[in-house]
């Protein structure tokens, strides 16, 4: 492998803080005429190393796509495979031998090695012994706090997708296969595409969101509902997307990605399906009123259209 500049992390969300580190790595790689690599762990280390269960901000394939826009190569790594390596073994065996690193770019809070025993100071010493340069990028601060995946998760759990978008540098998103539903939306004149979501990914606060939906060859302003449909008893969790510019085609075999723009209301029970339909009509009007604030050109089409 040619010489490389490597940045390391989980990159969950590929948020603005990650983007800052990735940009620094890209700059260093260009300066050295080297390949820029993102060494990306599959899950946050604390999800394996005895910490609390952590829901991801992105499905793996979406994280891979967003990273690939910013580096020459994404090297996907299982944290479980390297968690037992001592810091010196990680630098020698992974950075030097496997990745042929000329330089490493990390954030100030970077930890590595067994039991997270290595910090930036240890990395500087070990990397220098292997002839590897080190660049440390300070954290990106927004609203008086560092931008972090943990902070973004908290905002999504509150339904605050607009503040989360400012930290992500893009709208929060959901992605999944479109599967057959039970047809209730169609009987209410609100047909929906029903998404089967990755169970590892964080589900935002239940309710109705103004959104934009992308399917191959289709982009449409949408209403996205996340919840358990309390008006319909004993319903499992659903993610239902109503396209405001309905394409008039069968969507059940497609993949959809939904970008969430604004939380409209919580998941509420209604006395009847007729009352639910009245509320959905009000939601539709509210979505159209605010749609001009979310220009379509601001979002890259995930399907390249």
pLDDT digits (tens, 9 = 90+) for 267-281: 988 888 888 888 889
Judgement on whether residues 109 and 211 belong to the same structural domain of the protein: no
Give dist(CA 202, CA 127) in Å, integer: 36
One domain for residues 184 and 139: no
pLDDT for position 81: 80
181 and 134 part of one domain: no
Of the pLDDT bands very low, low, confident and very high (cuts 50, 70, 90), residue 224 is very high
- Residue 201 and residue 92 share a domain: no
Shared domain check, 141 and 177? no
**Which of 115-119, 177-181, 250-254 shows the lowest per-residue confidence on average (mean pLDDT)?**
250-254
Residue 45 has pLDDT above 70, yes or no: no
Rounded average pLDDT over 31-54: 76
pLDDT for 161 equals 97
More confident residue, 37 or 220: 37
Q: What percent of the chain has pLDDT over 70?
A: 90
Same domain, 111 and 177: no
pLDDT, mean of residues 198-219: 92
What average pLDDT does this structure show over 209-227? 91
Q: Are residues 177 and 74 in the same domain?
A: no
Outline where DSSP puts E strands in 158-275: 173-179, 193-197, 207-215, 218-227, 238-243, 255-266
In a domain, 229, yes or no: yes
Q: What is the mean pLDDT of residues 7-29?
A: 96
Domain that holds residue 58: 4-146
Looking at every residue in the chain, the average pLDDT score rounds to 88
Contact 112, 84 (CB under 8 A): no
Give percent above pLDDT 90 in the chain. 59
Which residues have C-beta within 8 Å of that of residue 1, sequence separation ≥ 6?
A: 35, 99, 100
How many domains is the chain built from? Answer: 2
Q: Looking at residue 50, what is its pLDDT?
A: 45
- pTM value > 0.85: yes
Least confident of 166-170, 228-232, 245-249, 286-290: 245-249
Question: Which one of 92, 111, 146 terminates a domain?
Answer: 146
Element at 80 (helix H, strand E): helix 79-82
Contact between 25 and 99 under an 8 Å Cβ cutoff? The reply is no
In the predicted structure, residue 46 carries a pLDDT above the cut 60: no
Query: Is 70 exceeded by the pLDDT of residue 210?
Result: yes
Q: Is residue 168 part of a domain?
A: no
Boundary (domain end) residue, out of 131, 146, 161: 146
Cα–Cα distances in Å, from 150 out to 39, 64, 75, 181, 216?
20, 20, 23, 33, 31
Q: Domain for residue 155, yes or no?
A: no
Residue 305 lies in a domain: no
More confident call, 70 vs 112: 70
What pLDDT, on a 0 to 100 scale, did the predictor assign at position 42? 83
Whether 200 and 255 map to the same domain: the answer is yes
CA–CA dist 32, 36 (Å, integer) = 10
Q: Is the pLDDT of residue 17 over 90?
A: yes
* Domain match, 179 and 293 both: yes
**How far is the C-alpha of 278 from the C-alpha of 244, rounded, in Å?**
16
267 domain residue, yes or no? yes
Least confident of 99-103, 140-144, 153-157: 140-144
pLDDT on residue 305: 52
Between 27-36, 123-132, 225-234, the lowest mean confidence (pLDDT) is in 225-234
The answer to whether residue 153 sits within a structural domain is no
Q: Which residue has better confidence, 206 or 77?
A: 206
Across 135-156, average pLDDT: 95
């Amino acid at each position: 492998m040619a010489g490389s500049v490597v940045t390391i992390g989980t990159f969950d969300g590929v948020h603005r803080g990650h983007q800052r580190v990735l940009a620094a790595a890209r700059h260093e790689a260009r300066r050295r005429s080297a390949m820029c690599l993102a060494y990306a762990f599959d899950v946050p280390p604390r999800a394996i190393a005895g910490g609390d269960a952590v829901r991801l901000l992105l499905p793996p394939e979406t994280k891979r796509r967003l990273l690939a826009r910013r580096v020459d190569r994404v090297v996907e790594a299982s944290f479980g495979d390297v968690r037992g390596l001592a810091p010196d073994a990680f630098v020698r065996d992974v950075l030097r031998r496997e990745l042929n690193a000329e330089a490493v770019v990390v954030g100030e809070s970077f930890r590595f090695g067994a039991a997270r025993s290595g910090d930036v100071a240890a990395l500087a010493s070990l990397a220098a012994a292997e002839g590897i340069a080190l660049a440390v990028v300070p954290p990106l601060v927004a609203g008086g706090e560092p931008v972090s995946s943990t902070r973004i998760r908290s905002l999504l759990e509150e339904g605050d997708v607009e503040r989360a978008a400012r930290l992500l540098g893009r709208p929060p998103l959901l992605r999944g296969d479109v599967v057959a539903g039970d047809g209730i939306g169609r009987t209410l004149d609100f047909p929906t595409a029903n998404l089967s979501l990755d169970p590892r990914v964080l589900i935002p606060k239940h309710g109705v969101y103004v959104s934009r939906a992308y399917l191959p060859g289709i982009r449409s302003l949408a209403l996205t509902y996340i919840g358990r449909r309390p008006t319909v008893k004993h319903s499992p969790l659903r993610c239902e997307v109503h396209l405001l510019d309905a394409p008039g085609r069968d969507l059940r075999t497609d993949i959809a990605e939904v970008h969430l723009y604004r939380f409209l209301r919580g998941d509420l029970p209604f006395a009847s399906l007729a009352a639910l339909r009245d509320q959905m009509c009000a939601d539709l009007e509210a979505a159209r009123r605010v749609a001009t604030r979310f220009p379509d050109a601001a979002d890259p089409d995930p399907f390249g259209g």
